[in-house]
Structure 1
Amino acid sequence: MSPRARPMSPEERRAALTDVTLRLLRVHGRDVTTRQIAEAAGIAEGTVFRAFASKDDLLDAAISRAFEPGDLVVRIEEIDPALPLRDRLVVLASILQQRFRATFDLMQKMGLVRPPGHLHDSAGAAAWRARLEELLGGVVGDDADQLAVPLDHFIHVFRLLTFAGSHEHIADGRLLTPDEIVDTVLHGLGRT
């Protein structure tokens, strides 16, 4: 007989169910059942409803988790500042593209055309955008003097092009590669 797992606190149970549900939403979208969630979590279905008042509450928690920074901050901070600027930006574009594409895919499966308002328009969202701009500026670092525009404008254009170039519909099915994004932002499309 295998030993029984340590009981979870209500907060731990909610967090574990949120994580499991988010993984299942990426596959099944809104059609995921509480039975599937319970099986994936290794619990009885009734335990789901002891942690969350309803399936909708659980789905909302999972969607909210999807918009949390997660490991994004760590991945950006791990970009080697000794790399040349272009190489740092290619790594950054790749990281952001992975994040954007995973978010776009989840939103499509959930039938969302934009992030839920309470996530996108909150004070926490504004603070996160400011923190992200700071992180992206840190990747540019001392090479900001190589830019033809102020750093905040460069970051804005970089994020905007990465976002648009990572979205299947906005890009008309022709996604941009990280190299294309960086070369466009650093060098433009014209002849020099």
Structure 2
Amino acid sequence: MTGPTPGRRRAPSMSPELRRQMIVRSTLSLITEHGLAVTTGRIARAAAISEATIFHVFSDKDELLDACVAEAARSDDVVYELADIPLDAPVTARLVAAAGVLEAYLTRVGTVITYLEAGGHGRARRYSAAPAGGMREVREAFDSVVASLAALLGPEEESLRLPAPHIAQAFFDLLFARTRNPDYRPHHPQLVEIVQLLVHGSLAGSSQAETAGAR
């Protein structure tokens, strides 16, 4: 005679924050592949949860899409990579390296925003208007990247024509606009030209005196 069959152990429950992250990451992956044709049913299948679970975590699909933009804009890894660029390298080399780091990040953010705009997700239009617009999380992520870019200009602080944060913001805006261009190609030689233009100006042999006289 055999004894009673031992009961099956239940898998440990997932914390609300971990479940939220899983849903967002599953949605991001599907948006990149299918755009806004993604349904909550498909998201649920990808995340191996019930569709009702999604609406226990998010009030509606718009809130989920907002969370996807915020997740795509997270900049922790970018900030760490920018901090690893040696400050004793020439300034042009530093900015070219920084641009390379930012390309993947800005392409990731831009791809998600483009899909949301194409589907008429209203709040996404504010994200593309300016890096400072949109949700608090997105704004803070962009601000942290700009601050890291400004830190790369520290060795030249005394000789800069504008404050380092202003130059860093202009550089960030230029790179972001570049990745939104339909003809954008990553790692294009133009990237080096953009950095050279930023560092040396647009006039051959220009001087600070000439620049001051034009103000």
Interval of TM-score (by shorter of Structure 1 and Structure 2) = 0.7 to 0.9
Task: Give TM-score scaled by structure 1 length.
Answer: 0.78
Which residue among 49, 60, 63 is the counterpart of 1:57? 63
Which residue among 160, 181, 192 is the counterpart of 2:194? 181
1:77 aligned residue: 83
Q: 1:116 to 1:104 in 2, by over 3 A?
A: closer
Q: 1:40 to 1:129 in 2, by over 3 A?
A: closer
Task: Give TM-score scaled by structure 2 length.
Answer: 0.71
1:159 aligned residue: 172
1:155 is displaced (CA, Å) by 2.1
State the Cα RMSD in Å. 2.9
1:129 is displaced (CA, Å) by 5.2
Identity over aligned pairs, percent: 30
| Separation in structure 2 between the aligned mates of residue 42 and residue 123 of structure 1, nearest angstrom | 30
Post-superposition Cα deviations, 1:52-92, rounded to whole Å, max 9, x if no partner, equal 33333322222232233242222222222232211111011
Structure 2, unaligned stretches of length 5 or more? 1-8, 118-123, 206-215
Which residue among 95, 102, 105 is the counterpart of 1:96? 102
Structure 1, unaligned stretches of length 5 or more? none
Which residue among 112, 115, 120 is the counterpart of 2:127? 115
1:191 aligns with 2:165: no
Give the structure with higher Rg (CA).
2
| Separation in structure 1 between the aligned mates of residue 177 and residue 65 of structure 2, nearest angstrom | 27
Give aligned pairs, total: 186
Q: 1:137 to 1:123 in 2, by over 3 A?
A: same
Q: 1:181 to 1:122 in 2, by over 3 A?
A: same
1:137 aligns with 2:153: no
